[in-house]
């Protein structure tokens, strides 16, 4: 059965720290991986990754995909309290038209 | 461009009742997916529609159904509500077919008493 596993489950850091969130997957014929940030509302889209080794970057957030080892990481540098949220990753197999979500990593950034 | 909208935002029902939730995708998006989010199970896929056709359905009982209209708006229906149906129901729309970025609406918080 296809599955997506995120680690760690939760993380507490101080402002200014750098964090790395992990997403590993076991899906048949991987197509794409999405990262989302969810605060007390609906998930907000961050990145889509389809090719291995290409880094996607937006400000202090960046993500990379390793299709051979079946994982992705999301890096956040110089964390701020506003980064506190649950970070979700989701993976799609071609032809299924559905994304399978991991359970998320809860990040708390202390001032 | 307006985002994904969902109505109603909050709903309280009692066991045995039925409920209909509505989702309007981003203009130009033809794919609509529905997810159920609970603290214990996380985000679980319900179904996906494209051009009024259901292309996939998750592992939910037949009480959960949906449809999509010609203007891409979608509805989902849950009949004979159970306490365990209490959840946040999220709709997401996509422009491309695959690979595709999904953009979520604000969700409908359903509480079943």
The sign of the CA dihedral A92, A44, B42, A69 is positive
Q: A45: which 2 tokens?
A: 């889209």
Per residue in A46-78, pLDDT (tens digit) is 999 987 878 899 999 999 999 888 999 999 999
Could you tell me what percentage of chain A is helix, strand and coil, using 3-state DSSP and rounding each to the nearest 5?
5, 55, 40
Separation of first and last alpha carbons in chain B? 37
Contact call for B45 and A43, based on CB within 8 A: no
Average of per-residue pLDDT across B70-80: 96
Per residue in B2-31, pLDDT (tens digit) is 899 999 999 999 999 999 999 999 999 999
Residues of chain A contacting residue B55, judged by C-beta atoms under 8 Å apart: 97
Residues of chain A contacting residue B105, judged by C-beta atoms under 8 Å apart: 42
Contact call for B43 and A88, based on CB within 8 A: yes
For A19, residues 6+ apart whose C-beta sits below 8 A from its C-beta are A11, A13, A75, A76, A79, A107
Give Dmax (Cα) for chain A: 45
Contact call for A101 and B98, based on CB within 8 A: no
Residues of chain A contacting residue B44, judged by C-beta atoms under 8 Å apart: 101
Burial class (CB in 10 A: 0-12, 13-18, 19+), A100: buried
- Where residue A94 falls among pLDDT bands split at 50, 70, 90? confident
In terms of Cα–Cα distance, which of B79, B34, B72 is closest to B50? B72
């Amino acid at each position: 059965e296809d599955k997506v596993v995120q680690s760690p489950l939760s993380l507490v850091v101080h402002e200014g720290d750098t964090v790395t969130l992990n997403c590993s997957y076991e899906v048949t014929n991987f197509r794409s991986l999405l990262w989302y940030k969810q605060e007390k509302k609906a998930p907000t889209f961050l990145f889509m990754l389809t090719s291995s080794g290409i880094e996607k970057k937006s400000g202090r957030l960046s993500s990379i995909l390793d299709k051979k080892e079946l994982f992705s990481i999301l890096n956040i540098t110089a964390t701020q309290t506003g980064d506190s949220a649950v970070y979700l990753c989701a993976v799609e197999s071609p032809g299924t038209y559905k994304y399978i979500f991991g359970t998320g990593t809860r990040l708390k950034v202390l001032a | 461009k307006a985002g994904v909208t969902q109505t109603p935002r909050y709903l309280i029902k009692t066991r045995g009742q039925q409920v209909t939730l509505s989702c309007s995708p981003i203009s130009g998006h033809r794919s609509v997916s529905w997810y159920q989010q609970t603290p214990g199970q996380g985000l679980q896929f319900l179904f996906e529609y494209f051009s009024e056709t259901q292309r996939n359905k998750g592992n939910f009982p037949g009480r959960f159904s949906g449809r999509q209209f010609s203007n891409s708006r979608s509805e989902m229906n849950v009949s004979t509500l159970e306490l365990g149906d209490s959840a946040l129901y999220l709709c997401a729309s996509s422009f491309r077919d695959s690979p595709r970025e999904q953009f979520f609406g604000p969700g409908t918080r359903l509480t079943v008493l």
